[in-house]
Chains A and B, each alone.
Chain A
Amino acid sequence: MTLFCGHYGSGKTNLAVNYALSLRQKGIEVSLADLDIVNPYFRSKDSTAELEAAGVRVIALPFANSSVDLPSLPSSAYSLVQDRSRYAVLDIGGDDRGAYALGRFVPYILEENDFEMLYVVNFYRPLTTTAEEAFEVLREIEGACGLTFTGIVNNSNLGAETTVEIIEKTCGKAQRLCEMTGLPLVAVTAEKSIAGPDMVPVVLQKRPFEN
């Protein structure tokens, strides 16, 4: 099981969708869970058609994308922790508020004790512009869900204006965050067309309003 958590707008959903698809390409049976109870827009569920076409099972809030602003989780979400035959990728809502949704699954996750929980960080987001600020959000998330992170993903970007240089400028901050937490840097990510050799290329989820 891999859980993607982090600050609002850090890129968790994009990474979760990409990661689920990459596992599927390796022939692994995988479920992707959209457990964002915070934000009704720009969610994993938006990519359901693409994911299901690739053979990924999508588990999402029953009211997501229905314009009913109701943060309820489906009973099928328990299959994420109870069905050990499938790999589970969990896309969790932003900040500590979003991480509360994990609470009910934590006993099962700890019992199985075979998970990685990745902290997604974009140092160009205004409330995580420094390692210290990012550290504060990281600890708030851990406090809210009762799990501890196992790694850090540096997903720093400026949207359409991102360049390799813009990403590289954040490497020092990511390094410092790793030192503060004792966690490994699992990946530096970049949009596919600009990704350097040491970066994990990511395909951006389609968003309806971009021109």
Chain B
Amino acid sequence: MAEKVLMKGNEAIAEAALRAGCLHYFGYPITPQTELTAYMAKRLPKMEGGVFLQAESEISAINMVYGVASTGKRVMTSSSSPGVSLKQEGISYIAGSDLPAVIVNVQRGGPGLGGIQPSQSDYFQATKGGGHGDYHLIVLTPSSVQEMADLTSLAFDLADKYRCPAMLLADGTMGQMMEPVALPEPHKSIIEKPWAVTGTQMKREHNIINSLYLQPEILEKTNFDRFERYRQIEENEVRYESYLMDDAEYCIVAFGIAARVAKNAITMMRKYGLKVGLIRPITVWPFPKKAIKDAADKVKGFVSVELSMGQMIEDVRLAEECKRPVVLCNRAGGMIPGVDQIIAVTKDLVCSVEGGAR
């Protein structure tokens, strides 16, 4: 394994993208993801073929991504919540044009301009569309600086494989915290891109990148074809971590920073004999529906721990098909649920299921 370095999560994403052969980056700085843009600004101009451009706005940055993605080159943009809202139109166009690209959201508290502390309240935006039309993003949620790097590599590979945009859904803590990381070895896309706009050399028909289809029959077909690919993604690309679930009587569902706090809470609760486990979605689209559904046959209840007013909890309820109670343990606006809070909410759930006092 490569020698480790000490990196901020934002830097790890940037370096992993470079090592995945991403030589094109367009963005606009915003706290708490600015180190990512700054790192790209330092490194890309020194690399052969590297292009860094700080656009005048997030809207122009995402449209530059749209342009480079059309040529089949690996390309990335990053921002934080308000900036990602600005990118939604472009993301819909990229999805509608069946192009691979990687979009990073290092979330902060909202809505509106919100704050600069960590949040997970863009879950709906990331997993349920965000922009207009029928489309999905592959959404990956890192829970350590190491995963910031590893999932960035994966995001590029999956985006290329399925010709759709992929999103890294991180949060302010993941972006800012420093941890040792073994960086992935440099690798490039091995996937052929015969659809790319690269010049015909007078040897083939023009490739046309477009999301406008005025004949509804044809537009419908592009949607059906795209959703066939989404079905394959749901079948093949679900990723999650199962932690102490073998003997668990209660299941916490949490991703990102919330999952780290949840693990500490689980360690404490197990000391008191309360058998709690964790399902940590690594992909939140596709959501690990089957893992949750299977868990519902074994556990007595679920706790969804989130840095939002309760967004993922809807996917948990859909996945477990209302077999067990699902309760929310949350903070919002940039606050993080603590170990004590998770234990208290879990104990309340235990009491309501099994009776008795806390």
Contact = CB atoms under 8 A, between A and B. Distances in A.
Contacts of B204: none
Q: Main SS of chain A's interface residues?
A: loop
Contacts of B4: 124, 158, 161
A41 B263 CA distance: 24
A41 B5 contact: no
Considering residues A129, A207, A209, which has the most beta carbons from chain B within 10 angstroms of its beta carbon? A209
B31 A209 contact: no
A135 interface: no
Contact of B5 (A67, A129, A208): A129
Contact of B264 (A67, A159, A208, A211): A211
A132 interface: no
A137 to B, nearest CB: 10
Contacts of B334: 67
A210 B115 CA distance: 21
A210 to B, nearest CB: 7
Nearest to A129: B5
A209 B264 CA distance: 12
Nearest to B177: A209
A19 interface: no
B221 to A, nearest CB: 46
A127 B264 contact: no
B253 to A, nearest CB: 18
B33 interface: no
A211 B6 contact: no
B261 A124 contact: no
A40 B176 CA distance: 10
B234 interface: no
A44 interface: no
Size band of the interface chain B makes with A: 20 to 34
Interface string A26-42: 00000000000000111
Contacts of B178: 9, 159
B173 interface: yes
B261 A69 contact: no
B6 A158 contact: yes
A8 interface: yes
Contacts of A86: none
A182 interface: no
* Of listed B5, B115, B116, B260, residue having the most chain A CB within 10 A: B5
Interface residues on A, range: 20 to 34
Interface string A114-131: 000000001011110100
A9 B179 CA distance: 11
Contact of B177 (A67, A129, A161, A210): A210
A138 B173 CA distance: 28
A80 B218 CA distance: 71
Interface in A140-173: 157-161
B257 interface: yes
Given A9-B6, A41-B32, A211-B261, A67 B15 contact: no
Contacts of B260: 211
A211 B115 contact: no
B35 interface: yes
A209 B173 contact: yes
B179 A159 contact: yes
A125 B117 contact: no
Nearest to A68: B116
Nearest to B39: A127
A67 B6 contact: no
Closest 10 CB pairs of A and B: A158-B180, A124-B6, A209-B173, A67-B115, A161-B180, A126-B5, A41-B176, A211-B260, A124-B5, A158-B6
Interface of A: 8-9, 40-42, 67, 69, 122, 124-127, 129, 157-161, 207-211
7 contacts: A67-B116, A69-B116, A125-B5, A126-B11, A129-B5, A159-B178, A208-B336
